[in-house]
Amino acid sequence: MSLISNRTNRSSLRKGDHVYSYRNLHAYSHHGIYVGDNRVIHFTRTQESESESSADNNFKIKRCKHCGYEPKKDRGVVKTCLKCFLKGHRLFRFKYGVPSSNLVLNRSGTCTTGSCGFSEDEVVQRATDILKSDEGFGHFDIFGNNCEAFAMYCKTGKRVSLQAFSLKNKGEIASEVMRRQSFSMKKAIESGLNLVVKNRIDTLHYDMEMHQQDRSVADNVVILSA
């Protein structure tokens, strides 16, 4: 479900933009900060995963002739060209300061109710400082410290990943539903719909809490969805 499309093109990008692209048939999105000159700073796995995705295997690069990026060698926070960042996928721009209704109706990892607290140059500088630091952005953790959290940190100073929260929250809700109810097709359908609604509201609450915004707005959404 999506209210708006965040798809954009390279010519419209500005320094400091939070960009992302999807992987594995839209299973998840990879995020970064556009720093100008066709370059993106983004946070990658700090160690090699046990298996590479089939989608990424279709985009094999030993060493990029444009930016020098080597996927098997360069890990953690990296600076690459847009082509290496996108890996053949489409380009999207993350939106900040959206109404609570937009966040509820759009996929997690596409927007936030929080506002960017830094100028374009400051966002670029923050990303660059992390790139050059010995510590980088720490150890990559898909649920606790990932690429979206990196981009959000550069823009707001907060390590927040809405798609990670949403994924984890879905699992917790589903486990609770299965524990409480006996199986039937009707209940399965009802539970699936309730899971989607509850997860979206939970994600909104989490987002607004992390950005210290007025919870009363989120409470109004809950009442309307009840």
Structure confidence by residue, pLDDT tens digits, 119-133: 999 999 999 999 999
- Among residues 67, 147, 154, 211, the one annotated as catalytic is 147
The pLDDT score that the predictor gives to residue 171 is: 82
Same domain? For 98 and 59 the reply is: yes
Same structural domain, 156 and 184:
no
Contacts 24+ apart (CB under 8 A), 191-199: 195/170, 197/225, 198/173, 199/166, 199/169, 199/170, 199/173
Catalytic-role residue among 31, 42, 89, 211:
42
8-state DSSP, 211:
T
Question: Is 78 inside a domain boundary?
Answer: yes
Number of structural domains (the chain) is 2
User: Which of 12-26, 183-197, 212-226 ranks highest by mean pLDDT?
Assistant: 12-26
33 shares its domain with 131? yes
To the query of whether residue 116 is one of the catalytic residues in this protein, the response is no
**pLDDT tens sequence across 144-172:** 899 999 999 999 999 999 999 999 998 87
φ/ψ of 22, rounded to 5, equals -90, 155
44: CATH: 3.90.1720.10
In a domain, 62, yes or no: yes
| 60 vs 29: which has the higher pLDDT | 29
Helix (H, G, I), strand (E, B) or coil at 111: strand
**Do residues 33 and 98 share a domain?**
yes
3 located within any domain: no
Q: Which domain-ending residue is among 135, 160, 185? A: 160
Among 141, 160, 179, the domain boundary falls at: 160
| DSSP code string of 47-78 | S--SS--HHHHTS--SS-TTT---TTT--SEE
- Give the mean pLDDT of 133-137: 96
Name all contacts of 161-164 with Cβ < 8 Å and 24+ positions apart.
Answer: 161/109, 162/108, 162/109, 162/112, 162/203, 162/206, 162/207, 163/28, 163/29, 163/107, 163/108, 163/109
Of the three residues 160, 182, 215, the one that is the final residue of a domain is: 160
149 shares a domain with 169: no
- Whether 64 is a known active-site residue: answer no
Q: How much is the average pLDDT of 86-114?
A: 95
DSSP 127-170: HHHHHHSSSTT-S-BTTTB-HHHHHHHHHHS----HHHHHHHHH
Any catalytic annotation for residue 42? Answer: yes
Considering the domain architecture, whether residues 139 and 195 belong to the same structural domain is answered as: no
Q: Which domain holds residue 36?
A: 10-160
| Catalytic position from the list 18, 30, 89, 211 | 30
